Structure 1
Amino acid sequence: MEDELGGAGDRRCARPRAAYLRRALWWTLLTLTGGVQRRGQLPPGGCVVVANHSSHADTAALLAALDARHSPAIGAAADYWFASRRRSRICSRLAAGFPVRRTGGGMDDLLARADGLRAGGAVVLFPEGTRARAGELGAFHKGALVLARHANVPVVPVAIAGTDRLLPKHGRLRPALVRVAIGEPLPASVTPEEARDAVAALRRRTNEEPLRDSATRKRTATVAGSRWGLALAFAWACAEALSWPLMPELFLAIACVAVPRRALKLSLLALAGSLAGGLLALQLAASGVQLPQPLTTERMRAEVREELSVESAAAVRHQPWNGIPFKVYAREAGRADIAPSDWLAHSALSRGSRTLTVGLAFGAFGFLVHRLRRFYAVYLALLCGGFATGLSLIVAGWS
Structure 2
Amino acid sequence: MTKNAATGPLPRTGGDTGGDTEGVTEGDTRAERLAAGGAEAAGRRVRPAFRLLVAAWLRRRFWRTVLFLTGGLTVKGKLPKSGCVVVANHSSHADTAVLLATLGAARAPRVAAAADYWFRNRVRRLVCSVLAAAFPVRRHGGGYSDLQDIAGPMLRAGHAVVVFPEGTRGGGEGGDVGEFRRGAVELAVSNGVPVVPVALSGTARLLPKGGRLRPHAVRVRIGRPLTTPDADTARSAVLELLAECRPRDSRVRRRIARLALSWRGLGLVAAWSFTEALSWPLLPELALAVLCVAAPRAGLRLTVSAAVASVAGGLVALALYSGTSVELPQPLTTSRMHATAQKEIRLEGARAVRHQPASGIPYKVYAAEAGRAGVPAGAWVLRSTAARGQRIVGVGLVLTLIGVLSQRWRRFFPQYLIFVGVAFTALFALVISAWR
Q: Distance in 2 between matches of 1:294 and 1:132?
A: 55
* Aligned counterpart, 1:75: 112
Among residues 103, 118, 130, which one is paired with 2:156 in the alignment? 118
Q: Is the 8 A contact 2:182 2:231 kept in 1?
A: no
Pairwise mapping of residues 352-391 of structure 1 onto structure 2 (< 5 A)? Answer: 352-391=389-428
1:310–1:358 distance in 2 versus 1, CA, 3 Å: same
The residue type equivalent to 2:96 in the other structure is: T
1:207–1:174 distance in 2 versus 1, CA, 3 Å: farther
**In terms of mean alpha carbon deviation, does 216-225 or 360-369 score higher?**
216-225
Please state if 1:258 is matched with 2:294: yes
Among residues 21, 33, 37, which one is paired with 2:58 in the alignment? 21
The residue type equivalent to 1:367 in the other structure is: V
Q: Is the 8 A contact 1:157 1:195 kept in 2?
A: no
Q: Distance in 1 between matches of 2:88 and 2:252?
A: 36
Please state if 1:314 is matched with 2:376: no
Please state if 1:162 is matched with 2:202: yes
**In terms of mean alpha carbon deviation, does 342-351 or 172-181 score higher?**
172-181
After superposition, the CA RMSD in angstroms is: 2.2
Task: Show CA shifts across 1:125-156 (max 9, x none).
Answer: 11233223455333444443343244321222
1:126–1:214 distance in 2 versus 1, CA, 3 Å: closer
Secondary structure at the residue paired with 1:222? helix
TM-score, normalised with respect to structure 2: 0.82
Q: Distance in 2 between matches of 1:214 and 1:288?
A: 49
**In terms of mean alpha carbon deviation, does 383-392 or 195-204 score higher?**
195-204
Please state if 1:217 is matched with 2:217: no
Pairwise mapping of residues 140-289 of structure 1 onto structure 2 (< 5 A)? Answer: 140-186=180-226, 190=229, 194-207=230-243, 210-286=246-322, 287-289=324-326
* Aligned counterpart, 2:81: 44
**In terms of mean alpha carbon deviation, does 286-295 or 29-38 score higher?**
29-38
Task: Show CA shifts across 1:52-96 (max 9, x none).
Answer: 212101112211221121110111112111222222222222221
Task: Show CA shifts across 1:231-266 (max 9, x none).
Answer: 110111111101111110011001111111111121
Q: Distance in 1 between matches of 2:113 and 2:209?
A: 17
**In terms of mean alpha carbon deviation, does 69-78 or 302-311 score higher?**
302-311
Q: Is the 8 A contact 2:166 2:178 kept in 1?
A: yes
> How far off is 1:349 after superposition?
2.3
> How far off is 1:186 after superposition?
2.9
1:207–1:32 distance in 2 versus 1, CA, 3 Å: farther
Q: Distance in 1 between matches of 2:93 and 2:54?
A: 24
> How far off is 1:201 after superposition?
3.8
Task: Show CA shifts across 1:9-36 (max 9, x none).
Answer: xx93332222223222222332333332
The residue type equivalent to 2:359 in the other structure is: N
Q: Distance in 2 between matches of 1:257 and 1:19?
A: 34
Q: Distance in 2 between matches of 1:333 and 1:307?
A: 10
Uncovered stretches (5+) of structure 1, i.e. residues with no partner: 1-10
The residue type equivalent to 2:82 in the other structure is: G
Secondary structure at the residue paired with 2:402? helix
Secondary structure at the residue paired with 2:146? helix
Q: Is the 8 A contact 1:257 1:365 kept in 2?
A: yes
> How far off is 1:199 after superposition?
2.5
Q: Distance in 2 between matches of 1:128 and 1:171?
A: 20
Q: Distance in 2 between matches of 1:173 and 1:68?
A: 25
Q: Is the 8 A contact 1:158 1:199 kept in 2?
A: no
* Aligned counterpart, 2:386: 349
* Aligned counterpart, 1:293: 330
* Aligned counterpart, 2:22: none
Q: Is the 8 A contact 2:199 2:222 kept in 1?
A: yes
Task: Show CA shifts across 1:27-55 (max 9, x none).
Answer: 23323333323232211111111222121
1:83–1:201 distance in 2 versus 1, CA, 3 Å: same
**In terms of mean alpha carbon deviation, does 200-209 or 319-328 score higher?**
200-209
> How far off is 1:158 after superposition?
1.9
Q: Is the 8 A contact 1:137 1:200 kept in 2?
A: no
Task: Show CA shifts across 1:192-243 (max 9, x none).
Answer: xx23442344224523654322233233223333222111101111111011
* Aligned counterpart, 1:56: 93
Uncovered stretches (5+) of structure 2, i.e. residues with no partner: 1-47
Q: Distance in 1 between matches of 2:387 and 2:232?
A: 58
1:130–1:217 distance in 2 versus 1, CA, 3 Å: closer
Q: Distance in 1 between matches of 2:169 and 2:250?
A: 32
**In terms of mean alpha carbon deviation, does 136-145 or 294-303 score higher?**
136-145
**In terms of mean alpha carbon deviation, does 24-33 or 330-339 score higher?**
24-33
Q: Distance in 2 between matches of 1:173 and 1:96?
A: 21
Q: Is the 8 A contact 1:217 1:373 kept in 2?
A: yes
The residue type equivalent to 1:67 in the other structure is: G
